[in-house]
Structure 1
């Protein structure tokens, strides 16, 4: 059965008007009716639905020849047909200009009694051509453009997210491989050392066995001869006199053999830095936003396994020839905070990572974390007056309280928050400390105290030259350390081994007094010449003068502490004396070596 208005076998007449709802769905159906209220042409099926719906059953429908021959403008002053949202049986017909609101008759009576009300039919055509309508159209058009742009950005972000995910996974795996390669290499080197020691001991044992066998034969031979002559007095006398000289030689050989036979039993002592890194559960890295932060992060505390050659290649800095460099003023960082009760007393400073320095402020009983890049300072108050500070690893520092015979360990979180952990009680108050192979090396005025990380004394070293010790610096990967001595008439830098033997001494006519010490990665020693026109003396590992840095420099006055960043070749100096200007007390001076 054929539905009226749905005949599609024969082509439509050129003058035919088509159903608009169907046309919006892609169908071309001849219209048989027209709704004046909706200003829309309808086919038979759409017209039937239109007459049944509650919202449109009262609309005026024109059919046949009464239909307009062409589509009328979308906006015409036709009868209102929208149902009121508050009164379901009423049609929205009125507009209140005072409240910029539309409503039905009931709405106007209830809510707009005293307002001037217009009929929508009377003003709608004028509104259509007015400014407000045009502005709305423009705003909607802009919204369409905005949403299109957002859509494109979302598509791009989706692609970037996939790319970032893939790259991050790749970087994590690459860094993991780098660490594994480093550990494999370190393992190979350690096994080679162990095998070399084993071969050396085996060769020594073989030599001792041969000596033992030779001496044993000689003793057996003498014993046999003496036994054969036991009943013959003359022969026994002659034989005894002849072997007497041999017995002295055998005695010496036996004593030497007893001494040499004590083979050193070696054990593997793991790296304290590696152990502490494992204990502190340092993450592989961090997730940062943007490429700039990512580059900076590579030079930060988490890159603890990069070799010195690799760091040189990444930064473009030459750290092999520090002795040939000169120091140039870079900047100064104000470390005095708003809540400091007095001017700062910078007793010690130490590099945590290329972008972060820790400073002890004795006057204000605190430590301060200094952000070198942003020149920002965060403060952490302490119970006692701190003097020395040493970096255990990038997440842990130790601070000394000599007056109270304590050492406080402080954990630095990834968000640069400081948390107190172990408080270590020590036998003697150490005013400066260094960390070496998971041991605390501290100094009193007249001694060097070697302690375990829990404060237990391992060894105490003293020497007639140790009269007023000011600072200590340990040589990396060795059993040597330097101390600065400031006794009356004896200003010097002293080098000792861990058995307390004096190895070398540095004195110079230009060295007025001594304070802070630092040893760079290549073994160069830096010592503060504590004077009004002070400087930094640079000396060789065997305590020979190389040069004098910052001599008569306007930024240096009584240099008290010094630290050096091997990754950036930056030198950090703290000036202090009771009578110096505040501009020196409250700042950390930064110099670039090049």
Structure 2
């Protein structure tokens, strides 16, 4: 290893490589050393320059006797720094160093990269990835062209409808003139929103193309070295999938407003009309609303399929899943109360993606935004924030005044429930803003309000609370005033976690061993018939993925620990 500040004699005869910086300038000079930080071969001149610059003079330089040959890998392991990648695991499709191979892949089918990479440039996998990138670039260009053409549509539509408004306004008086200004603002705002969206999409297309070209450039640059080419292709596959997903997202988001000026017929005869002049309607959203069907779970039948394994080798005891949360990108977050952990599952592969150990046993969760979750810790009187990405990252921990079990989020506030009797609203720092206690109400509506959720509607938001002690579901406004109480002692026995699916509320009947559906409009309560081989045993939490068409039920099952998360496929009844 090179020591900064000292000179050393090098024997370049033992080093079979050429200087990479010089080769980019068209020169072919023998390499003297290899920089393990920059991952480049350097000749003696480049080596001297490398040691003079402040940013690179501390880099570790490998000399001939320490250096792998060009038939070996010079890429370092992402996990074990300083260890070179030498193996490829066929089971996990991973690039491994010697440590990885021994510690994590001992029982796997592994290949020595230097053996399999010799003819890799002619391999079908390399041809497929380069061809796929070429096709992706074509699609990016087509999407960019489509975005550009949409600008003319937006402007033409704006001009046309603005002209209609102007022509109609000429026949009306000053009152109509005021309405005209109001409508123009609406149209201009839609135009501005469309152009802002398209500007963003245009830049994203440019960025996508740049990244795709960069990836192709990296592949081409490493064609001279089969090993590095092999490794780069394996790494680039993930980049390619990400770019393809990003392109799909752009196409999905490229939805501009389709609107038209609609005359108000009453205004033509009566200038005093309250809807004077007309309105601007988003006809595209209207069409979408009319085309979307309602997910009426009471009209569906549910057939059991393979359960999701959530046990981990690091668990100290049997799992007890108190809550589940459906996340974007078809992922499921679970609180394992007994093991004091939160677990992340990929619903498409039924694979446990991540697991994090917490300082106390978690009970319930709520989604703050697409990546942030709040978790209640009743035993330590705390609320833990988690950031959910590829892994589960610990955020801030709030100390709160009570043992909160249920938790929900709405408009920069948290709605929380005590072990018994009490509900509260807190700010995002845990400070109580409003509280509802049984002591203030002679009827004592709550006994054990362990679970709750906030439902957003056209007329505002409301809170639904499931009470284990009274076997009721209570509806409250955001000031914690009780609006309605739902009871059905035949079905609602021991209600636990609740989940919202459009205008329906799914409820776990822990003592009736069933999943209950409450229609929030009519108040009708229905037992969902789940075709399970051994039945549902003490369900604790439930959620439904409309995208996948599957119902997930977490149970308390001591007989079969592999059936903790049961999965049911939903189909329309004929």
Aligned pair in 2 of structure 1 residues 389, 302: CA closer, same or farther (>3 Å)? farther
Aligned pair in 2 of structure 1 residues 424, 411: CA closer, same or farther (>3 Å)? same
Task: Specify the SS of the correspondent of 1:342.
Answer: coil
CA distance in 1, matches of 2:518, 2:430: 32
The question of 1:408 aligning with 2:384 is answered: yes
Aligned pair in 2 of structure 1 residues 330, 439: CA closer, same or farther (>3 Å)? farther
Q: Deviations over 1:174-219 (max 9, x none)?
A: 79999xx99xxxxxxxxxxxxxxxxxxxx9xxxxxxxxxxxxxxxx
Structure 2 counterpart of 1:39: none
Deviation at 1:326, TM superposition (A): 2.3
Q: Any conservation in 2 of the 1:557–1:584 contact (CA below 8 Å)? A: no
Structure 1 counterpart of 2:139: 167
Aligned pair in 2 of structure 1 residues 290, 493: CA closer, same or farther (>3 Å)? same
Q: Who wins on radius of gyration, i.e. which is larger?
A: 1
The question of 1:422 aligning with 2:404 is answered: no
Q: Any conservation in 2 of the 1:317–1:568 contact (CA below 8 Å)? A: no
Aligned pair in 2 of structure 1 residues 155, 331: CA closer, same or farther (>3 Å)? closer
Deviation at 1:353, TM superposition (A): 2.2
Gaps of 5+ in 1: 1-145, 183-202, 204-281
CA distance in 1, matches of 2:127, 2:240: 24
Match of 2:453 among 458, 464, 473: 473
Give the TM-score taking structure 1 as reference length. Answer: 0.49
Task: Give the alignment of 1:152-551 within 5 angstroms.
Answer: 161-168=133-140, 171=143, 289=237, 297=245, 318-377=293-352, 378-413=354-389, 416-444=390-418, 445-462=420-437, 464-477=444-457, 478-487=460-469, 490-508=470-488, 509-520=490-501, 522-531=502-511, 534-542=513-521, 544-550=523-529
Deviation at 1:585, TM superposition (A): 7.4
Q: Any conservation in 2 of the 1:354–1:567 contact (CA below 8 Å)? A: no
Deviation at 1:581, TM superposition (A): 2.4
Deviation at 1:300, TM superposition (A): 11
Task: Specify the SS of the correspondent of 1:165.
Answer: helix
Structure 1 counterpart of 2:79: none
Task: Specify the SS of the correspondent of 1:571.
Answer: strand
CA distance in 1, matches of 2:567, 2:546: 14
Deviation at 1:586, TM superposition (A): 5.8
| Worse-superposed segment, 149-158 or 337-346 | 149-158
Gaps of 5+ in 2: 1-117, 155-174, 176-203, 213-235, 256-283
Deviation at 1:500, TM superposition (A): 2.1
Deviation at 1:472, TM superposition (A): 0.3
Aligned pair in 2 of structure 1 residues 379, 323: CA closer, same or farther (>3 Å)? same
CA distance in 2, matches of 1:330, 1:588: 11
Q: Any conservation in 1 of the 2:344–2:355 contact (CA below 8 Å)? A: yes
Q: Any conservation in 2 of the 1:333–1:587 contact (CA below 8 Å)? A: yes
Q: Deviations over 1:123-157 (max 9, x none)?
A: xxxxxxxxxxxxxxxxxxxxxxx99x949998997
Aligned pair in 2 of structure 1 residues 581, 154: CA closer, same or farther (>3 Å)? closer
Q: Deviations over 1:81-101 (max 9, x none)?
A: xxxxxxxxxxxxxxxxxxxxx
CA distance in 1, matches of 2:251, 2:520: 27
CA distance in 2, matches of 1:552, 1:161: 45
Deviation at 1:386, TM superposition (A): 0.6
Aligned pair in 2 of structure 1 residues 566, 299: CA closer, same or farther (>3 Å)? farther
CA distance in 1, matches of 2:254, 2:421: 38
Q: Deviations over 1:258-301 (max 9, x none)?
A: xxxxxxxxxxxxxxxxxxxxxxxx99999884999679958999
CA distance in 2, matches of 1:481, 1:321: 21
Task: Give the alignment of 1:43-192 within 5 angstroms.
Answer: 150=122, 161-168=133-140, 171=143
Structure 1 counterpart of 2:553: 573
Match of 1:591 among 561, 568, 573: 568
Deviation at 1:306, TM superposition (A): 9.8
| Worse-superposed segment, 334-343 or 508-517 | 508-517
Structure 1 counterpart of 2:223: none
Aligned pair in 2 of structure 1 residues 375, 158: CA closer, same or farther (>3 Å)? closer
Task: Specify the SS of the correspondent of 1:340.
Answer: coil
Deviation at 1:394, TM superposition (A): 2.5
CA distance in 2, matches of 1:301, 1:427: 43
Task: Specify the SS of the correspondent of 2:553.
Answer: strand
Number of equivalent positions: 339
CA distance in 2, matches of 1:468, 1:507: 15
Task: Specify the SS of the correspondent of 2:560.
Answer: helix
CA distance in 2, matches of 1:295, 1:329: 35
CA distance in 2, matches of 1:346, 1:167: 44
